[in-house]
A = this chain, B = another copy of it.
Amino acid sequence: MTVTAIAYHRAMGRWEPNARGRLAQAAIRLYAEQGFERTTVAQIARQAGLTERTFFRHFADKREVLFYGTDLARELLARAVAEAPASAGPMDAVAAALHAAAAVFQENPERVRLRDAVVSANAELRERELIKLAAFASAIAGALRERGVPEPAAGLAAETGVAVLKTAFTRWIGEPDGPDLDHILRECLRDLSGMLADRLADQGSPG
């Protein structure tokens, strides 16, 4: 469930045309070919015609190079929540954001799948993915609060939304010829509503 995969594009370096991009491209290729652990930063740098030291000037660590574009995705989610119609409830606004993210994924399914394969294959990368997802939730929660949704409802809706995104994404990746992400998302949201509504019905027997 490497849901973080999103756009790979950015400004260029000053001398070389695009240092960051070259490093990122070299990295994902090498990670995919020989595995994350068996790839050294020196290899990536050499592949991109740069030095190891320069790699670490562009990326905080060896993992971060795979999470390029995460900032953009976070902004996208927050914006979608903010731009949801005023009449929409918290969970509707979150749903809108999830569908916006889904659209980006579906723009380039092959790259998303490649990245997912690399990230899923390594525990350290899965950890980093989770942090990014938590950042998504945090951004969504912030946007909800801007809409006047109080805590803990905002945080709860955001966390739940990300949980739904993860679940739907995993399902989508799992069946390449299955329905599209939008459809799966809607289905998951409906299932969840149902479960919780059931629970609401007979209240007060929690522990």
Contacts and interface: CB of A to CB of B under 8 A. Distances in A.
Contacts of A199: 89, 91-92, 95, 189, 193
A12 interface: no
A111 interface: no
A34 interface: no
Given A100-B207, A131-B126, A206-B99, A198 B159 contact: no
A197 interface: yes
B153 A198 contact: no
Nearest to A1: B134
A188 interface: yes
Interface residues of A, number: 51
Contact of A195 (B89, B171, B195): B89
Contacts of A90: 195
Contact of A197 (B95, B96, B196): B196
A105 to B, nearest CB: 14
Given A95-B206, A171-B152, A206-B99, A200 B198 contact: no
A25 interface: no
Contacts of A197: 193, 196-197, 200
Contacts of A162: 163
B198 A196 contact: no
